[in-house]
Amino acid sequence: AQKVTQAQTEISVVEKEDVTLDCVYETRDTTYYLFWYKQPPSGELVFLIRRNSFDEQNEISGRYSWNFQKSTSSFNFTITASQVVDSAVYFCALGRRPNTGNQFYFGTGTSLTVIP
Amino acid sequence: NAGVTQTPKFRILKIGQSMTLQCTQDMNHNYMYWYRQDPGMGLRLIHYSVGAGITDKGEVPNGYNVSRSTTEDFPLRLELAAPSQTSVYFCASSYNRDRGDTEAFFGQGTRLTVV
């Protein structure tokens, strides 16, 4: 069975602090994909990153970085020097390889509030 | 590109009424999905489709019907609306083939209230 757990329901940080959003996944697939999405207060879902199961390289994009560790089945997301515009709900998702039915499994989201 | 387009953006229904949420995508994606989002519950899959003519149930399909007559369109039908169907609904699409795949692209959402 596929499952994504985001144990942090809500996080509040003061602007310029670093914050890490945790994501733990479960799958028996050997090929899979991991994603992060951002949902700002306006409500749309914005794609942030995709990672393949065979690529454990960490990735950095500006103030955002992602740490993928297969050994702990985790795909954590760190925002450095947080800003008010980072306030949003963040979803982690697990994607399956094609021809396996439903493709995406989402966590329940972490609501991040950045206090000015 | 328009991407994934959902209509309407807002709707209020009375209990027992029916309606169709429209969803269309112009990216030639084979997979399409309907999710509902409720506070504290994340995105829950209602129905999905792997291609024209093929649909399947997701986690919470009761009270909803879908069809996929074309690659582009994936309407969600609510029959006999109930207050429990008050939610924000998202349509999404993705391209999933053996030699290539994408993330899910989402529509802007439909906020539905059943009173």
Q: What pLDDT, on the 0 to 100 scale, is given for residue A81? A: 97
For the stretch B44-70, pLDDT in tens is: 999 999 999 999 999 999 999 999 999
With pLDDT > 70 as the criterion, what percentage of chain B qualifies? 95
**Does residue B43 carry a pLDDT above 80?**
yes
What rounded mean pLDDT belongs to chain A? 93
Which chain B positions have a beta carbon within 8 Å of A109's beta carbon? 42
Closest A-chain CA to B43 = A106
d(CA A80, CA A104) in angstroms, rounded, equals 28
Give the residue among A62, A50, A116, A60 at the shortest CA–CA distance from A87. Answer: A116
d(CA B13, CA B82) in angstroms, rounded, equals 9
Closest B-chain CA to A4 = B42
**Does residue B101 carry a pLDDT above 80?**
no
Closest A-chain CA to B88 = A43
Q: Which one of A44, A102, A108 has the shortest CB-CB distance to B58?
A: A102
- A96, B33 Cβ separation under 8 angstroms: no
pLDDT-derived band at B1, boundaries 50, 70, 90: low
Cβ of B108 within 8 Å of Cβ of A47? The answer is: no
Q: DSSP 3-state assignment of B108?
A: coil
**Does residue A100 carry a pLDDT above 90?**
no
d(CA A74, CA A92) in angstroms, rounded, equals 10
Q: What pLDDT, on the 0 to 100 scale, is given for residue B95? A: 84
